[in-house]
Structure 1
Amino acid sequence: MNIETEIKFPIQLCKKNGDLNLDSIGWSRQPMHRCNLSRKWLRKKRWNYWAVYDDEFLASFTISDIDYAGVIFCYFWDRKSNTFDEATLITPFGSGCRMGQMVDNDAVFESKSGKSGRLHFSRTEEGYHLEVFFNRKNSAPIQASIDVVVPMNWESLNVVIPFSRSRFQFTEKLFGVTARGTVQAGDVRHTFRENQSFAVLDFGRGAWPYSSKWNWANMSARVGKKKEIVGVNLGAGWTDGTGYTENGILVDGRLYKIPTDMVFEFDIKNPMRPWKIFSKDSKAIELTLTPEYHRHAVSNLGIIASGVHQMLGRFDGIIRVGRNEYAIEGASGWAEDHVARW
């Protein structure tokens, strides 16, 4: 089991030459890192990914700048009708993307003409606001106006993963928070309501190796008679051998860091079969994801290629924090297997 350093004061991610500031390696309960990326030509990756979901619907919006290109994408899944829709826009060298160094900074994409669309993720007094207009040639635009509510002192999982001095990643995973607002695309319209929904932010800033592979799982649920909010963020593959993980348990806004690695057991030839996800050196996590929808996204632009199997479904199992056990039954969430050349 790893011993991980908790960062408690603001710190810069990088040195002046663009390499990793070794003093920044660690994790924190609130975002402490200024992600002052520089140099590292074509290796810098920046993204703000949001997912908002309840028992009937999931919507996701992403602004990303991967140095070669800006990659903007939106998708939604209507669980009742099993309707899925997705749209992606790629711009050269991140054109139209404005993304800050801090988690609280606005993230904006706006096309040159304004016709392709605009996404604006902004910090507010109560949390975040997501405003989305994503135009498409052959179908109705995807539109959303959503407020994410983050309670005071709510903790998130923030961690620096050191691949090497020149290759590294900072990530914040904010989860277990709620949201209200609407998503619409043509005749499909859904309203998210507070205390019935959850929102997840995946904020990433780093300098990555060209070839990467990772697994990621996230879920939250209201558990027991007290309706305690219990959630997990779990990862594997990309953190292996670094001495750090992106694994954590959240209970009513309090984060419990898991230093042990996770195991993702699934059938890549038939990913709709149940996924087993468990902690390698402890009994903290014993979960099964039963997939309901398989989002299989593949892109190949020559030097850039990506393939993701994202399984949307329901989790069952046990989460343990100290002497407390939380029974998870039919909790909405996802797990994914992702391979990238970027």
Structure 2
Amino acid sequence: MQNEITKPSNLLFENGELIQKGWARKLILDYNPEDIDAGSLRIKEWDYYAVLNQKEGYGITFTVADLGFAGLIAVVWLDFRKRIFIPDEVMPLFTRGRFNLPKSSMKGDIELDEKGVSLEFLKKSDTRILKFDFPEFNDGEGIKADLRLKQDPNMDTMVIATPWKKKPTRFYYNQKINCMPSKGTVQKGNDTFKFNGDDDLSYGVLDWGRGVWTRKNRWYWGSASSKFEDGPRFGWNLGYGFSDRSYASENLIFYDGIGHKLDEVTFHYDVNDYMKSWKITSNDGRFEMMMEPVIDRNSKTNLLLIKSVQHQVFGYFSGFFILDDGRKINVENVLGFAEDVYNKW
């Protein structure tokens, strides 16, 4: 079942349960934390950006999250040619909503200065401005970013609102915005790295999440954004593994600004060696990709109240997808990622 939500409403009833369940192309359900039926430690809110330059072979990711038990401000530098990643983060404890993240992805800014890390995530008309300064990154090497991501307001996005079957006041409300041409610079130590949008296939994705989660979850997520030479931008969002997906999946192809809905997908990979080839298939036969990994951005966190085991694998995808009108689109060596994440939070 793929229930598409087309009518705006509040996200939650006063008892904390979802009013509408399914997927949408825009963020049309209003998130109001005052309607949540849970303590502040159970509320999970985040903004995650990944900006990848396919032609030059580098990228950067940013995470701002308020997980109740703790906050997280994190950055990862990615060098796909050298096959290395450099992560760093600060994690203030028991934030419990103190970060005051916006209720919507479409308006509101994030401005934080925590433990020597300063950031501004600003929304100005159709542009997302990312400013980030972490002087102590990588043992004092330092990293500073100033990036502009252009979001076409008419472009489809992936939005999903699903509950947990056994606890209907637990819910996942999420938006993925793909295919945003990204321009600007990252200063890492003494080196400057440029991002030039369509010219060097630099694209950003936003993972915007708000919800009340159960304690333990494992999820799978995959994403890519690119552009055909002399052709349209395209990409995909894939995900499964948690909450009740009987209402909808979050699997969507993006092609020239239009979303094409998929049913269920499966990630086929070696759990003992994440650097072996991955295969991703859909049960409707409309998506089949092989991914050749170049970086396993892996991490383990165990802070008693919070435990996380992550394998975010970046690589190059080749295969095909089929649009709603039946057209088969072949792609080759598209930079993206697929991940396997376990969280106890």
Tell me, in whole angstroms, the C-alpha distance in 2 between the residues paired with 1:242 and 1:184: 45
Counterpart in 2 of 1:320? 322
Residue type of the partner of 1:340?
A: N
Counterpart in 1 of 2:10? 12
Q: 1:154 to 1:39 in 2, by over 3 A?
A: same
Q: 1:131 to 1:57 in 2, by over 3 A?
A: same
Tell me, in whole angstroms, the C-alpha distance in 2 between the residues paired with 1:132 and 1:122: 11
Query: Does the CA-based 8 Å contact 2:111-2:121 persist in structure 1?
Result: no
CA deviation profile, 1:235-254 (whole Å, cap 9, x unmatched): 12125654321110100111
Tell me, in whole angstroms, the C-alpha distance in 2 between the residues paired with 1:226 and 1:239: 40
| Aligned 1:88-237 pairs, distance under 5 A | 88-94=89-95, 97-111=99-113, 116-136=116-136, 138-164=139-165, 165-195=168-198, 196-223=201-228, 226-237=230-241
Cα deviation, residue 140, structure 1: 2.3
Tell me, in whole angstroms, the C-alpha distance in 1 between the residues paired with 2:61 and 2:142: 14
Residue type of the partner of 2:179?
A: G
Q: Please state if 1:66 is matched with 2:67.
A: yes
Tell me, in whole angstroms, the C-alpha distance in 1 between the residues paired with 2:271 and 2:147: 34
Cα deviation, residue 257, structure 1: 1.9
Q: 1:266 to 1:51 in 2, by over 3 A?
A: same
Tell me, in whole angstroms, the C-alpha distance in 2 between the residues paired with 1:107 and 1:33: 19
Tell me, in whole angstroms, the C-alpha distance in 1 between the residues paired with 2:117 and 2:216: 30
Counterpart in 2 of 1:34? 30
**CA-based RMSD:** 1.7
| Secondary structure at the counterpart of residue 99 of structure 1 | coil
TM-score (norm 2): 0.92
The total of aligned residue pairs comes to 333
Residue type of the partner of 1:167?
A: R
Query: Does the CA-based 8 Å contact 2:162-2:244 persist in structure 1?
Result: no
Counterpart in 1 of 2:44? 45
Tell me, in whole angstroms, the C-alpha distance in 2 between the residues paired with 1:61 and 1:106: 18
Query: Does the CA-based 8 Å contact 1:290-1:315 persist in structure 2?
Result: yes
| Secondary structure at the counterpart of residue 169 of structure 2 | coil
Query: Does the CA-based 8 Å contact 1:33-1:102 persist in structure 2?
Result: no
Residue type of the partner of 2:62?
A: F
Q: 1:107 to 1:275 in 2, by over 3 A?
A: farther
Query: Does the CA-based 8 Å contact 1:228-1:252 persist in structure 2?
Result: yes
Greater mean alpha carbon deviation, residues 308-317 or residues 188-197: 188-197
Cα deviation, residue 105, structure 1: 3.1
CA deviation profile, 1:26-66 (whole Å, cap 9, x unmatched): 22211112221234112110000001111111110111001
CA deviation profile, 1:56-112 (whole Å, cap 9, x unmatched): 111101110011111111001122333421111111222762301111233425235
Query: Does the CA-based 8 Å contact 1:289-1:315 persist in structure 2?
Result: yes
Counterpart in 2 of 1:254? 258
Query: Does the CA-based 8 Å contact 2:37-2:169 persist in structure 1?
Result: no
Residue type of the partner of 1:31?
A: L
Give 5+ residue unaligned stretches, structure 1: none
Query: Does the CA-based 8 Å contact 2:164-2:170 persist in structure 1?
Result: yes
Residue type of the partner of 1:206?
A: G
Residue type of the partner of 1:94?
A: T
Cα deviation, residue 283, structure 1: 1.2
Q: Please state if 1:267 is matched with 2:270.
A: yes
TM-score (norm 1): 0.92
Tell me, in whole angstroms, the C-alpha distance in 2 between the residues paired with 1:249 and 1:174: 12
Query: Does the CA-based 8 Å contact 1:63-1:109 persist in structure 2?
Result: no
| Secondary structure at the counterpart of residue 306 of structure 1 | strand
Give 5+ residue unaligned stretches, structure 2: none
Cα deviation, residue 207, structure 1: 0.5
Residue type of the partner of 1:253?
A: G
